């Protein structure tokens, strides 16, 4: 599966390699206590929340790494 900014968090976390990409860029992201609330959201939507820690440059790096999978 190709991952994009329109992929849901649930889709990304279901793939171990994609999950590892998120953890590489934002350690602890997949184990955050509120993660269940965001599972249906796209990465683009989540990046809109400052507390997610997905600044534009970090989001680009994540998407670049996901595209390599």
Residue 3 covered by a domain: no
2-17 average pLDDT score: 96
Tally of domains in the chain: 1
- Provide the token pair at 50: 């400052």
Provide the pLDDT confidence category of residue 68 given band limits of 50, 70 and 90.
very high
Q: What is the per-residue pLDDT across 17-64, written as a single tens digit (0 to 9) for each? A: 999 999 999 999 999 898 999 999 999 999 999 988 889 999 999 999
In this model, does residue 2 exceed pLDDT 90?
yes
Q: Which of 30, 49, 40, 37 is nearest to 6 (CA)?
A: 40
Residue 1 covered by a domain: no
Question: How far apart, in whole angstroms, are the C-alpha atoms of residue 23 and residue 18?
Answer: 9
Residue 34 covered by a domain: yes
Residue 56 covered by a domain: yes
Range of the domain at 58: 9-67
Query: Do 29 and 65 form a contact (C-beta atoms < 8 A)?
Result: no
Residue 2 covered by a domain: no
Residue 33 covered by a domain: yes
Q: What is the pLDDT of residue 51?
A: 86
Please give the residue that has the higher pLDDT: either 34 or 1.
34
Residue 62 covered by a domain: yes
Question: How far apart, in whole angstroms, are the C-alpha atoms of residue 65 and residue 33?
Answer: 25
């Amino acid at each position: 599966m190709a991952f994009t900014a329109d992929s849901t968090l649930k889709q990304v976390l279901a793939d171990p390699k994609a999950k590892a990409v998120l953890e590489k860029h934002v350690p602890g992201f997949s184990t955050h206590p509120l993660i269940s609330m965001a599972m249906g959201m796209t990465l683009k939507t989540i990046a809109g929340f400052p507390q997610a820690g997905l600044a534009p440059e970090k989001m680009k790096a994540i998407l670049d790494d996901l595209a390599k999978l």
